[in-house]
Amino acid sequence: MSKLYTRAFSIFAALLIGFTVFSIANATTPEENKAAGIAFLAENAKKPTIKTTPSGLQYEIVTEGAGASPAATDSVTVHYKGTTIDGAEFDSSYSRGAPATFPLNRVIAGWTEGVQLMKEGAKYRFYIPAELAYGTRGAGPKIGPNSALIFDIELIKVE
């Protein structure tokens, strides 16, 4: 039984080492995230429906609104979905089944700038460069450092 245990342990160790090497080899670095974001945004800017602000925030209007536009100091109620540029969803009020309300000046800079362009009832898609998102720190396990992000935002109410 000792030989069986030793063999099983050796196989387990080899698999663990192999998985670790595979994970490290396929890790995305902050530099790779930054380069991918820059390339994505440069290509995205070529689309005729994309508008770009002086800060580098890109957006497209999905549905125009007709209500009030918020100031940075207002609170807003929104439905939203956030994804990385490869399409991986990291947050969604739609998935939770309830809109979110928060002060607009307490979120990432890309949101503060972009949502001010909207009117109540509007739906926009924002393409946010890393420096207007979470920058070099990233956010949690799903948003790496220097990651550009995409948000679909529906402005429900300005308060």
90 tagged catalytic: yes
Catalytic annotation, pick one of 38, 50, 74, 90: 90
| Catalytically annotated residue among 40, 59, 127, 151 | 151
Candidates 70, 111, 69, 68; CA nearest to 93 is: 111
The label of the residue with tokens 């307490």 reads 106
Active site residue 5: no
Given the residues 85, 91, 126, 143, the one annotated as active site: 91
3-state secondary structure of 86: coil
91 belongs to the catalytic site: yes
Among 80, 124, 126, 127, which one carries the catalytic annotation? Answer: 80
- Which is the catalytic residue, given 134, 143, 153, 156? 134
**Spatial CA neighbour of 127 closest among 65, 47, 34, 41:** 41
Catalytic residue list contains 74: no
DSSP secondary structure string for all residues of 34-80: HHHHHHHHHHHTTSTT-EE-TTS-EEEEEE---SPPPPTTSEEEEEE
153 is catalytic: no
DSSP 88-149: -EEEEHHHHTS-EEEEGGGS-HHHHHHHTT--TT-EEEEEE-GGGTTGGG-BTTTB-TT--E
Active site residue 126: no
Question: Which residues does the annotation mark as catalytic?
Answer: 80, 90-91, 108, 134, 151
